[in-house]
Structure 1
Amino acid sequence: MPPLRRVLTLAAASVLVLTGCTPSAGEPSAEEPPAEVTSAAGTVRDLPGVDDVAVTRTPTGAEPVQGNFGQRSEPAPSTVSVEVALTGTLGPSAAGEAAGEAHRLLVAAAGRVDDRENVTVASSFVGGPGLGVSTGPTTTSAVVTDAVEDGFALLAAGATSVGLGLGGRGDGSWDDDPIAATARVSAATRDDLVGLARTAEELDRGVELQAPGVLYRAASRVPDVGAVRLLVAAAGRPGVVDATYLSQEQRITLRSDAEARSQDLADLRRWLETQDYATADDPLAYTVMDAAHAETAGWVSGAEPASYAPHTLDPFTDAEVWPEDPAAPDCAGRDLEVTFGVVDSAAGTRGASVLATNISGGPCAVENVPGLVFENEAGQPQQDVTVEHYEPGVVPGRVVVPDGGTVLAPLLWRAMSTANDPDTTTTVQVTAVPGADPVPLDATTDGTPATGLDVLDGAEVRIGPWTQGD
């Protein structure tokens, strides 16, 4: 029999309600909960600020186990759910204190359950009409106290519901589970969201805020009250159906029912670009979708990121930067020996490079983006390949390459499916500098996939200009 898993877990939800002890039709019949848990539940029920405690036990069936003589079934742990209802009229501090003490008693009780009971204990706390707090395997009482206290404070500030799913390490930190610290907060109207954001800021609590037609999502971050105010104001503009702010993307998205060339849509974009909010060092992108779902993008306050200003690409080396030499001639095609770099991949993105070594016997200069054509095994160019700037704002810079020095042009593209054996790119034709003859490079050897590159028809490839590579 597997050992008892003495944990306190519960799936995160916005609102949790007490479940009765009578199973629904078709569910397994309930069993008696362990005496240790029911005894602790009775103690919790008598705590000041606790209205009720519900304890149920539900078998989860059997788990297949592979033995010496084939597969057999062994009872799976049954689930004991302990749900603590807190008095809705409690102040935040009193509610947090009651929840923390209840959690301490339940954790201790779970630890006393005999291993032969083979149960998993799950606990949660509900309060008032809309608070739900669930505990994780190593949640401390201090974390529960803080979470419930914050939840009651948010309800007092006008939230209709607050949900927190607690996890993380036993010391109460959130480093390994940042989403667990986030309160999912709902409000009746969008006008309530700014006040809730202020409250969350005072509590130092990350929140996700939502109201009809408005969503502010900031993962584990404490909310930016100014961003919430901007979002709420944008949601109230003529024609706006819904508004979303995603802090991880630093973007506000507005969906409008206005036609593409309507005055409402033009006014909305003008309004976004004239708001006193974003800066080049702290930009916020916007996307506006019209009635046909066509998108228009831009920057709030008209503030493009500082990185979008024209700039050259930093060298891909830690070595000393090559000196300028105004007298150095431009490199010709015959002056450069071109090779293909190693392919790297991560999170669905491919990276590679084209290298060019100066073999002219003296310094020469390059200042361009190499021309690339991706060909399949039959020597046919891949169709509809789009070439984009490597990074926004990057422009070629003059690089004087010493004799024997190597410059590098980086490449990035999204991974493409090769499940049905499409014609992969096996050769890359490289025109190193203007006027040079294309040089065919084998893309199936020396650090590249033996089957070729997954740059297929319709690919989008970002290519950077030459920069120092060694």
Structure 2
Amino acid sequence: MPPLRRVLLLATASALVLAGCTPGPPDEIESAAEAVRALPGVADVAVTRTFGPEPVQGNFGQRSETRPSTVRVEVVLAGALDPGEAGEAAGSAHRLLSSAARDVDERENVTVASDFVGSGLRVGAGPDTAADAVVDAVEDGYDLLAAGATTVGLALGEGNGSDPIAATAHVAAAAPSDLVDVAEAADELDRRAELEAPGVRYRSAGRVPDVDTVRLLVAAAGRPGVQDATYLAQERRITLQTDAESGAQSLADLRRWLEAQDFATADAPLAYTVLDAGYAETTGWVSGAEPAPSSPEPAGGATPWPDDAAAPDCTGPDLDVTLGVVDSAAGTRGVSVRARNVSGRPCAVQGVPDLVFENTAGQPQQDVTVQPAEPGLVPARVVVPDGEAVLALLLWHTMSTANDPDTTTTVQVTPIPGADPVPLDATTDGTPATGLDVLDGAEVRVGPWTRGD
């Protein structure tokens, strides 16, 4: 676009904002919406535009650009469509809208998003979402509704094919018993899904639901006195909230029922937590299958360290804690925390280090989830000879630093309970740009202390 024309358009848009007139959606989007409205299988189309913060101030107090805005197109699918027809209509609509969105000149500073809505279904997509992903998501949504779901929501990010970013379905059902059929449908579709019904929540951590686990969770929710049943796939744990008072027979009966199930094994353990009416908790293992302890020794036939049951626990001053070099592979980063025994005698460690990730201002990153690298694994007690080291491996998915976010420049490591935190420099040259891409909202998996050879 010629510079003069761009200036005039910006000035006109700013004047409209100052005058209280809100610009409507771009003509390209309006035209595409009309074409979508005429497609078979589409009942209606609604286009709305919302604005962000006030325009940026330029030199001499003049407004230098229009406010960023979002144009949202809601495509309502006709009733009585089968999954294939609904997917075809949504795919055709998405292609038209995506093409129009790409044609919108940057003068508008517009983000275009689409929602495909059916009876109980909402699929959100951006202009760069692959059309096949929209088709698959809508078809899967209709299949999940047919299996007994009352609502299905999916938010599709940018991606190609049928497995884009954030393609986990959020599925609700009217009754807990309906979740088994819904889980079977999700498993057959190979669709990642979070499931919910009154008093029951299955948190899949972005995985395809395990039907047997859903069946066990629903059965547990139906036990006497159980008010709420939740499964967390990240922890492989069922948590049951009851209305029973402490010491009630029903609590003992519930624990016995869980431990009598023919379900879990030591190789695939499933933990449980039972809460009484006062939120006091009792923990154990479904089927009585407690996991085997992790091995403190590395693979490869190295000579084992002596196992001295009388060795004292290491204290904070006994350990020299350092941070290793970051390694990357297939969208995952890893770094090790190493603790060397400098006490002059053997001492023992067990468990995982406590971690706090801080930005350059010394503030903790927000909403960082730290979880076991292998849920259900019982960390071994490791007797560390003087001068030897143990390590704990940290893993996380790569995160975008394109917009210069606050990277993690310091990791506060508490190697053992009761020790003072040790601040470790997480940069390679002291600058924030070389810090760890553990940002707000990150999920970090932490392994137990193991031999550091």
Fold-level similarity (TM above 0.5): yes
Answer whether contact 2:171 2:193 (CA < 8 A) is retained: yes
Counterparts of 1:63-212 in structure 2, within 5 Å, are: 63-65=55-57, 67=58, 72=63, 74-128=65-119, 130-170=120-160, 173-174=163-164, 177=165, 180-212=166-198
Alignment partner, residue 297 of structure 2: 314
Counterparts of 1:285-300 in structure 2, within 5 Å, are: 285-300=271-286
Aligned residue type for 1:214: V
Shift of 1:57: 2.6
Tell me how far apart the structure 2 counterparts of residues 320 and 139 of structure 1 sit (CA, whole Å).
49
> Which structure has the larger Rg?
1
Shift of 1:166: 0.3
Shift of 1:274: 0.6
Tell me how far apart the structure 2 counterparts of residues 171 and 233 of structure 1 sit (CA, whole Å).
37
Tell me how far apart the structure 1 counterparts of residues 29 and 62 of structure 2 sit (CA, whole Å).
33
> CA 1:199/1:75 → structure 2, altered by over 3 Å: closer, same or farther?
same
Shift of 1:81: 1.8
Shift of 1:110: 1.4
Alignment partner, residue 240 of structure 2: 254
**Per-residue displacement from partner, 1:318-349 (whole Å, max 9, x unpaired)?**
99734899xxxx9999xxxx9742344999x9
Aligned residue type for 1:54: A
How many residues are treated as equivalent by the alignment?
354
Tell me, what secondary structure is at the counterpart of 2:183? helix
Tell me, what secondary structure is at the counterpart of 2:388? strand
Answer whether contact 1:134 1:165 (CA < 8 A) is retained: yes
Tell me how far apart the structure 2 counterparts of residues 97 and 395 of structure 1 sit (CA, whole Å).
58
Of 31, 37, 41, the match for 2:23: 31
Q: CA-atom RMSD, angstroms?
A: 4.2
**Per-residue displacement from partner, 1:84-123 (whole Å, max 9, x unpaired)?**
0001311011101110110000011112224333332221
Shift of 1:55: 1.4
Question: Higher relative contact order at CA 8 Å, sep ≥6: structure 1 or structure 2?
Answer: 1
> CA 1:124/1:331 → structure 2, altered by over 3 Å: closer, same or farther?
closer
Aligned residue type for 2:297: D
Counterparts of 1:37-48 in structure 2, within 5 Å, are: 37-48=29-40
Tell me, what secondary structure is at the counterpart of 1:150? helix
> CA 1:293/1:102 → structure 2, altered by over 3 Å: closer, same or farther?
same
> CA 1:323/1:43 → structure 2, altered by over 3 Å: closer, same or farther?
closer
Aligned residue type for 1:91: D
Shift of 1:83: 0.6
Answer whether contact 2:40 2:89 (CA < 8 A) is retained: yes
Counterparts of 1:301-450 in structure 2, within 5 Å, are: 301-307=287-293, 313-314=296-297, 321-322=302-303, 340-344=319-323, 352-355=339-342, 369=348, 392=378, 394-395=380-381, 406-408=387-389
Answer whether contact 2:133 2:160 (CA < 8 A) is retained: no
- Between 243-252 and 68-77, the greater mean CA deviation after superposition: 68-77
Answer whether contact 1:273 1:301 (CA < 8 A) is retained: yes
> CA 1:297/1:445 → structure 2, altered by over 3 Å: closer, same or farther?
closer
Shift of 1:52: 0.5
Per the normalisation by structure 1, the TM-score is 0.65
**Per-residue displacement from partner, 1:360-410 (whole Å, max 9, x unpaired)?**
xxxxxx6x6389xxxxxxxxxxxxxxxxxxx8362467x9x8xxx843467
Answer whether contact 1:31 1:59 (CA < 8 A) is retained: no
Answer whether contact 1:217 1:245 (CA < 8 A) is retained: yes
Tell me how far apart the structure 1 counterparts of residues 236 and 272 of structure 2 sit (CA, whole Å).
9
Q: Specify every segment of 5 or more residues in structure 1 that has no aligned partner in the other structure, as ranges.
A: 5-27, 359-365, 372-390, 413-423, 429-441, 448-463
Tell me, what secondary structure is at the counterpart of 1:234? helix
Tell me how far apart the structure 1 counterparts of residues 76 and 349 of structure 2 sit (CA, whole Å).
67
Alignment partner, residue 399 of structure 2: none
Q: Specify every segment of 5 or more residues in structure 2 that has no aligned partner in the other structure, as ranges.
A: 7-19, 327-333, 351-376, 394-411, 426-447
Answer whether contact 2:291 2:378 (CA < 8 A) is retained: no
Alignment partner, residue 13 of structure 2: none
